Amino acid sequence: MPEGTRPGEGAATRSVSVPSPAAADVIARVRSVPIDIGPGLVAPALSALVEPWLLVTQPEPLESVDPELVSRAGRIEVIDSLARADLEALARRTPAEIRTVVGLGGGMALDAAKWIAWSRGLPLVLAPSIVSVDASVTNTVAVRDGGTIVYEGFVVADRIVVDTDLIASAPPRLNRAGVGDLLSIHTGLFDWRLGSHAGRIAWDAGIAEAAARVLDRVELTAPEIAAVSEAGVGGVVEMYAEVNALCLRAGHSGPEEGSEHYFAYRLEEVTGRSFVHGEVVGLGTVLMATLQRNDQARAVRVLDTCGVAWRPRDQDLSRAMLLEALTSLPAFVRAHALPWSVADEADLSPAAAGRLLDEALGDERD
């Protein structure tokens, strides 16, 4: 499924497709991937690998791994780009004798590892160093192609290692923000149903009900997410995996992505800035839930209980920026052929957008 905006991607346009639902055997394979959760798991996982293996990582997580273990890697790639040319070069220079690809880090490192494993047909182990995005459990790669981000390839990891000690070393604010791509179920399901009523996409009640159960679990797990505890971190990854499987079944991202993400994409373009993904999507969820008349209070409650810095002042966003993003959202979704949502139906004229901000944010709007 599309993985959304990530820190560092900038204001690139997203290419969103609506593929056919994945075959049952593919979904079963995705669901069967072992997800090991607990403290101190990276070291034994690396020690157990058949050499030589390729380590795809980033500077901060690399520093957290025992140098002796790192020295056993057949090759180390430190990633700073997901541009197509850079990914293709990575795959080309991977030595033929490499037996396994290991992705250790944030979304960029994990996606680069997925690209190499997919393009070279190699086994894949993923070890996230942060849970701010869902790249450890998704199967496609967010490739930057000029000014567009497209999702390509399809690879299923052989193992996912969630080392809670490693993840706890990342800034708590970023780990808490990971809930944004789960809370978006709240508005995503509403938009999916709107699209169904408009005759744009098929509705699947079973998938929708399963996604709603994930959302209920998010709310129950919120205090642990705020604490960045083992239960919170593990719960986020498990829920990411469940949502990924639901999107594969549906053949699109409707179970978790809608107008809240489109707002985030547009806000990036308006400001020319990158944001912490879950924080800006959280803001979008509050705004779009208000526009949908869809229990906006629940979105606020979950974000606040999780400790997410979703408010405009937390992200240095002015009222003028929010108004520009909202009023231009209908044209934006049409220009990029994004799936049907409340942005296609609601009044987002300047006056209406101003009232929306007043209602959704109250004293938080400036």
| 81-131 pLDDT, tens digit each | 999 999 999 999 999 999 999 999 999 999 999 999 999 999 999 999 999
pTM over 0.75: yes
Classify residue 233: in a domain, yes or no: yes
Residue-level pLDDT at 4: 37
Q: Which residues contact 209 (CB under 8 A, 6 or more apart)?
A: none
Q: Which of 149, 170, 191 is the last residue of a domain?
A: 170
Residue-level pLDDT at 21: 78
DSSP 116-154: HHHHHT--EEEEES--SS-TTT--SEEEEETTEEEEE--
Are 163 and 196 in a shared domain?
Answer: no
Residue-level pLDDT at 20: 64
- Element holding 37 (H helix, E strand): strand 35-38
Q: Which of 170, 197, 221 is the last residue of a domain?
A: 170
Are 117 and 182 in a shared domain?
Answer: no
CB 294 within 8 Å of CB 260:
no
Strands 124-128 and 100-105: parallel
3-state secondary structure of 155: coil
Residue-level pLDDT at 22: 78
Domain with residue 147: its CATH number is 3.40.50.1970
Residue-level pLDDT at 24: 86
Residue-level pLDDT at 13: 42
Q: Return the structure tokens found at 37.
A: 């959760």
Q: Which positions of the chain have pLDDT values less than 50? A: 1-19, 365-366
3-state secondary structure of 10: coil
Give residue 196's domain range: 173-364
Are 164 and 178 in a shared domain?
Answer: no
pLDDT in tens, 231-265: 999 999 999 999 999 999 999 999 999 999 999 99
